[in-house]
Chains A and B, each alone.
Chain A
Amino acid sequence: MRGGTVVDHTGSRRADVVIRDGVVVAVGADAGADMGASVTLDATGCVVAPGLVDLHTHLREPGREEAETVETGARAAACGGYTAVVAMPNTEPPIDSAGVVRQVLELGASACCEVAVAGAITVGRAGTQLAPIAEMAALGVRLFTDDGTGVQDARLMRRALEYASALDVVLAQHCEDASLAAGGHMHEGEWSSRLGLPGIPAEAEELMVMRDLALCRLTGAPVHFLHLSTAASVAMVRAAKGSGLPVTAEAAPHHFTLTDAAVASYDPVFKVNPPLRPPGDVAGIKAGLADGAIDAIATDHAPHAQETKEAPFDQAPPGMLGLETALSLALGELGLPIERVVALLSWQPARIAGLFPRHGGPLVEGAAANVCVIDPDLRWTLDPATLSSKSRNTPYAGRAMVGKVRHTLLCGEPVVVGGRPQR
């Protein structure tokens, strides 16, 4: 890989990268000059970074293959620069047993990126009985969550944290108090009041963040906060980190790029959970990403078949695509140096997911060749028809973007070359 600037958590330097049999064998200026490479990828003007890692991907398989499959979702991920994704367990059936974990891992074995699996905390994600966490952990599951809904019962969540604390796993919470959020379809506030749509108050999220910080303190078990969307949530997590609690947090690109005003179109493509928030919350998320209160950008990639999104706003399912736009939005909207952006997208989420250093690790001799090559200055316009995802529910159609993935390598194999998937 010639002509790029290598960026990893050790810093950045001008270097070529030589890869053989899935492993980095040499890094340095002109390192590849006399190696007789069979394939040379041009990285001129590009950043060569460890592959991106998404903590929050809905691959929809099993059960919703009309919206996405492991194969198509992984291809979309590779196009977005990801070499690993964590598949969320809200499939049908849910990933709440060793059997379904195995099924998804097998499907992922031949995919364009590594597919890690998140298991459910409770059986059927129903919030009443603990799922077989240890059995799933034995298959390599590192993250557990009932994502799509939060564990409502505080006693059950406490037990889950205590039980998990012996297993080197992380419980991740979709923070939403169900009673306070009930019936809501967008952020509750000025816009919901005007648009006549039932709202979800910010406090529905914040109450559960507050509760889980208390439970984290009580049990000492690590908690990861999924898709934080309000300024107050970020502030609480920042303070908790300051007091030494073992917490991590992620935010989704749509929560730092879009506001609840977008719902005025009544287009269900803007319906998502947690909902799009007002500008003050968007600023809070950006601040959290800038100062480290939030550890990772996670896509919450949530494909939906077109017909399900052509329903009235209050009947359409929440969720939007994210894998193929996250990097560009982070580069274009956060105003952070590229090293920080890659940290939020690569090694920081890789550590939370337990995938470090195979993913997100420094590009040095002997490292696994999971790599993405980013052209940080390329200007492009999003045309949903060109996406690799099986679904088209992106809220960014027609948006001008800056920065794009040029190549993605999975274990040394170029799965994306010149922006195009190779399989």
Chain B
Amino acid sequence: MTATSETSSPDLVIDATGGGPRRRRHLMSVLDLGREGIEEVLRLTDSFVEVGERAIPKVPALRGKTVVSLFFEDSTRTRLSFETAAKRLSADTMSFSVSTSSVKKGESLRDTVETIEAMGVDAFVVRHSGAGVPWQIAGWTHGPSVINAGDGWHEHPTQALLDCYTIREQRAHRLGLAPGPRSLGGLRIAIVGDIRHSRVARSDVLAFTALGASVTLVAPPTLLPPSLAGWQVDVSHDIEDVLPAVDVVYLLRLQRERMQDALLPSLREYTATYGLTVRRAALLRPDALVMHPGPVNRGVEVAAEVADGPASVITRQVANGVAVRMAVLYLLLGSGVDLAGS
């Protein structure tokens, strides 16, 4: 391997010589990381954000590793973000999606996974409409890491990590602080919308609270989970009461099919009662952040003017997604030896 000054980030070398992080095999839930693990990913992400700003945004950290994206549900953004992250780490990538696969010919999930494993892969990045599928895949395979890129309504841990990173980065940036304390301690975050069906909300609640933030869920009762036992959150049905007090308002996408399930009378009524309209956005503190995991239903959960306005950090979330996923791939697949060798 050849190394150039461009491809050896100082932070990464420190990790390598310092014995590196404790090896984790999978990232399926935010709970796999805990507070320390989340902070470790955020620290690593700083290095990879720096890599992304280089003329040649690529390091050889995962040269020779193969990352397979296994997407059983459409998600162009998340898949591209992971694949970009893998490529910037010099990993080989393969992509598997249902429309081009043998799943349509009746091949079982287990056969599909075992077949791809037999080709020799180091990580599966899995997106599936069924909650728990990453756990099943981890149970069927022996070598590869499994990274959950969204399982049903359950979890989407890398989204939560990039959200934490973005909040930390943008708070520091806007308040003129040095890239600062890793925790979100003391921050007040409102998550607004369809919590019940949201894997983003489940992962975000776990990550935000692990880092010390206080979280308020804002939704009509039909869009909350049936039970919140064990969730360290407050609940409100009055967005206007919540907005003036929060540092971050996190909006979730409202799926149109929710109307058919009698969860809401109409999109119009939802926007009227829970939408972040221009008028409501004026209730926010001047330094508050507006976030959304995308894709945005403009004019439904958030007004276009607000989504594009100065409080919005939605495009920063997307940009940071690549660096966070690089950090996750590096944490799971990289080793000090590889980096020292580079």
Listed in ascending order, the chain A residues whose CB lies under 8 Å from chain B are 188-190, 192-199, 201, 265-267, 307, 310-315
> What separation, in Å, do the CA atoms of A74 and B252 have in the docked complex?
53
Contact A196 B202 (CB under 8 A): yes
A190 CB contacts on chain B under 8 angstroms: 227, 229-230
Contact B230 A314 (CB under 8 A): no
Contact A196 B153 (CB under 8 A): yes
Q: How many A-B residue pairs have CB under 8 A?
A: 73
- Cβ contact of A197, chosen from B109, B132, B230, cutoff 8 A: B132
What are 26 inter-chain pairs, A to B, with CB distance below 8 A? Answer: A189-B226, A189-B229, A190-B227, A192-B227, A193-B227, A193-B228, A193-B229, A194-B225, A195-B131, A196-B151, A196-B152, A196-B153, A196-B154, A197-B132, A198-B153, A199-B226, A266-B132, A266-B133, A266-B136, A312-B109, A312-B128, A312-B131, A312-B133, A313-B131, A313-B132, A314-B152
Contact A312 to B108, CB < 8 A, known contacts A193-B227, A196-B202, A197-B153: no
Task: For A188, give the chain B residue with the smallest CB separation.
Answer: B226
> What separation, in Å, do the CA atoms of A174 and B12 have in the docked complex?
60
Task: For A182, give the chain B residue with the smallest CB separation.
Answer: B261
> What separation, in Å, do the CA atoms of A197 and B199 have in the docked complex?
11
B131 CB contacts on chain A under 8 angstroms: 195-197, 266, 312-314
B285 close to A (CB within 8 Å): no
> What separation, in Å, do the CA atoms of A193 and B199 have in the docked complex?
11
> What separation, in Å, do the CA atoms of A153 and B31 have in the docked complex?
45
Size class of the contact patch on chain B = 20 to 34
A177 to chain B, nearest CB (A): 15
B204 close to A (CB within 8 Å): no
A195 CB contacts on chain B under 8 angstroms: 131-132, 154
The interface residues of chain A, by DSSP majority, are classed as: loop
* 1/0 contact string of B247-274 vs chain A (CB within 8 Å): 0000000000000000000000000000
Extra contacts, 10 of them, besides A310-B140, A314-B131 (Cβ < 8 A), are A188-B226, A192-B227, A193-B229, A195-B131, A196-B131, A196-B199, A266-B133, A310-B136, A312-B136, A315-B130
B155 close to A (CB within 8 Å): yes
A156 to chain B, nearest CB (A): 25
Contact A189 B132 (CB under 8 A): no
- Cβ contact of A194, chosen from B109, B140, B230, cutoff 8 A: B230
B96 close to A (CB within 8 Å): no
Task: For A193, give the chain B residue with the smallest CB separation.
Answer: B225
B136 CB contacts on chain A under 8 angstroms: 266-267, 310, 312-313
Contact B132 A311 (CB under 8 A): no
A372 to chain B, nearest CB (A): 37
B47 to chain A, nearest CB (A): 32
- Cβ contact of B135, chosen from A188, A198, A201, A266, cutoff 8 A: A266
> What separation, in Å, do the CA atoms of A307 and B112 have in the docked complex?
13
Task: For B201, give the chain A residue with the smallest CB separation.
Answer: A196
Contact A196 B226 (CB under 8 A): no
A266 CB contacts on chain B under 8 angstroms: 131-133, 135-136
A268 to chain B, nearest CB (A): 8
9 cross-chain pairs, A with B, having the tightest CB-CB distances, nearest first = A266-B132, A312-B130, A196-B154, A193-B225, A196-B153, A196-B131, A190-B229, A193-B227, A190-B227
B55 to chain A, nearest CB (A): 42
A310 CB contacts on chain B under 8 angstroms: 108-110, 136, 140
> What separation, in Å, do the CA atoms of A142 and B151 have in the docked complex?
46
> What separation, in Å, do the CA atoms of A267 and B128 have in the docked complex?
16
> What separation, in Å, do the CA atoms of A176 and B230 have in the docked complex?
28
Q: List B residues 132-173 near A (Cβ within 8 Å).
A: 132-133, 135-136, 139-140, 151-155
> What separation, in Å, do the CA atoms of A188 and B154 have in the docked complex?
14
A197 CB contacts on chain B under 8 angstroms: 131-132, 152-154
> What separation, in Å, do the CA atoms of A267 and B152 have in the docked complex?
15
Contact A196 B133 (CB under 8 A): no
A307 CB contacts on chain B under 8 angstroms: 108, 110
Task: For A316, give the chain B residue with the smallest CB separation.
Answer: B130
> What separation, in Å, do the CA atoms of A308 and B114 have in the docked complex?
16
B153 CB contacts on chain A under 8 angstroms: 196-198
Contact A196 B108 (CB under 8 A): no
A40 to chain B, nearest CB (A): 48
Task: For B155, give the chain A residue with the smallest CB separation.
Answer: A196
B231 CB contacts on chain A under 8 angstroms: 193-194
> What separation, in Å, do the CA atoms of A192 and B131 have in the docked complex?
10
- Residue among B110, B130, B140 with max Cβ neighbours from chain A (10 Å): B130
Task: For B128, give the chain A residue with the smallest CB separation.
Answer: A312
A165 to chain B, nearest CB (A): 38
> What separation, in Å, do the CA atoms of A311 and B140 have in the docked complex?
12
Contact B130 A314 (CB under 8 A): yes
> What separation, in Å, do the CA atoms of A135 and B151 have in the docked complex?
50
Contact A312 to B227, CB < 8 A, known contacts A196-B152, A196-B154, A196-B155: no
A194 CB contacts on chain B under 8 angstroms: 202, 225, 230-231
> What separation, in Å, do the CA atoms of A188 and B135 have in the docked complex?
21
> What separation, in Å, do the CA atoms of A199 and B133 have in the docked complex?
17
Contact B226 A311 (CB under 8 A): no
Contact B108 A311 (CB under 8 A): yes
> What separation, in Å, do the CA atoms of A312 and B140 have in the docked complex?
12
A210 to chain B, nearest CB (A): 21
B126 to chain A, nearest CB (A): 11
Task: For A268, give the chain B residue with the smallest CB separation.
Answer: B136
Contact B152 A189 (CB under 8 A): no
> What separation, in Å, do the CA atoms of A410 and B225 have in the docked complex?
52
Contact B109 A311 (CB under 8 A): yes
> What separation, in Å, do the CA atoms of A254 and B311 have in the docked complex?
53
